[in-house]
Structure 1
Amino acid sequence: MPRFISVPRLLVLVPLLSLGFADPAPAQTRDVAGARDYPGIGRFSGSVATGYAVKDFDAARMQAAAFKDGQPVDARRLEGRIIRIAYRSNPGPSILEVSRNFETQLAKAGFETLLACDTDACGGIPFTEAVDALPIPQMWIDGFNYRYFAGRKVSGGSETYASVLVSQNNQDICAQLVVAELGAMQNKMVDAAAMAKGLGETGHIALYGIYFDTDKAVLKPESRPTLEQIAKLLTNQPQLNVFIVGHTDSQGAYEYNLDLSKRRADAVAAELAKSFRVVPTRLRTAGVGLLAPVGSNATEAGRALNRRVELVAP
């Protein structure tokens, strides 16, 4: 049996989606940027991570029972920290072998089986259409040939779900692991009063309500409430000027992270000037990359704390 490499934490959910055949994608020889295996689970030996997405709070769909007459029987919507990882293995192993390895690792990690089925027993193509999946080419799903596993783990008062979907594209085996660590959304909104207090007491305040996609410096729409509060702060204190400082975690090259953090700070300043009519001269920007961590870059939780934008008083 192939060696299965163990890694940290988990909760899974599987995406499905393919109907028919597609041209083969260029061979990928290394993991996508920032990809990491889920602790305690790992990956099938020799596979490459083709997709990776982590959300501190999101929703994922998981099937805890096979379909009946083309309809779900036990579809669950899970909210909390959601981790989605897609892998591709070169030709050789079967769908069943890759899936069984994941299933064994999940069992060792304490997950009880909710559902384990193959194509027809799961419900065919309609089943795959009801499962979350990373987009092609990160994850390929053949609705005529796949295996699905879903499990649940309760430990120390916390509840985690995990699902694995394994399919095939040409001769390559594609697998997606989805882990859902259930939990309530943390309130990351910092209002103008809290910003003023932080600047007055410590000279800076970290903002976690400003969002960017991985490796991007384009503000996401959900950043607007925090931007509104920054604008309110500056309106309430017309003599106040601030530095907007971008921070990253330690993933990626040093020079790249310095540049990315600066571009993100610039994007915040530009949006404040454009949409909220803040005078640009009141905003200076800087990017320090990974040089001022507030958490350990050895853990996902610590890296999440380090990815932030800060306001700094001159």
Structure 2
Amino acid sequence: MSPYDDHPAAENALGGFLRARRARLRPEDLGLPSSGRRRVPGLRREEVAMLAGVSTDYYTRLEQGRERHPSPQMLDAVARVLRLDADAVAHLHRLADAAARRTRRPAQRTERVALHLRRLPDGWNDTPAFVLGTALDVLARNRLAEALFAGFTHSDNLLRMTYLDPWARGFHRDWDRAAESAVAALRHAAGLDPDHPGLGRLVGELSVKSADFRTLWARHDVRGKTHEPKLLHHAEVGDLELHYESFTVNSAPTQQLVVYQAEPGTPSADALALLGSLNAEPAPAPDRTS
């Protein structure tokens, strides 16, 4: 058993999400009178229930994980009260659906990438590309992605790379933003497959080893892959500004193919081309037998 298995990612995930988002709002944010000093920050359960049009008892059961079949309309009402954005609303519905149909899965599950998907990025010599698994494990990558991440010791998982590898703070020119995005993406992944055993182990490991991760994980921010640029610094070619696209894999819906690109004609495009040439596969030696 892993020493991190006692930190499940999904134990009453719906309740944890609601409590965290409730704590981030003040009564005055929603036009409610502030009743002086409070024992805990944020809105009270009864205030959320009142504004959502449900009983306090019902909302309490929802947070405690005892109400397993909330209606979509009720969830939308709670989302409006908590001022959730589109990503967070979708996450809320996924958590509620997962709580309703939860079944225990085997403790061990090895995630694999299909051979045809593994081969696909290998033909792309000008763009770093890699395949991510459910818990943001790097399941496969092409030669240019290997070169891009060459300085990392923890290269098997995007969260370990960001939080546990000293190389990350020099590699990410805006580490704080990269760290927030990584945690929000992991929250999104946890909503897609909350019972994935690798998620619990990963969250436990990062919670033990990184105070930065613990703080951000407790915020329950959730966001899928965005299109914001990646501002990087590579030891061999210098600064890079890369944009990326993420593609869902139909045959494995919790996996995604990620492709990084530089704007044509920019210094980043030149630097990426240089990185590719520095790490190109050696040409075969000429045949001198004829």
TM-score bracket, normalised by the shorter chain, equals under 0.3
TM (norm. structure 2) is 0.23
Q: Report the structure, 1 or 2, having the larger strand content.
A: 1
TM (norm. structure 1) is 0.21
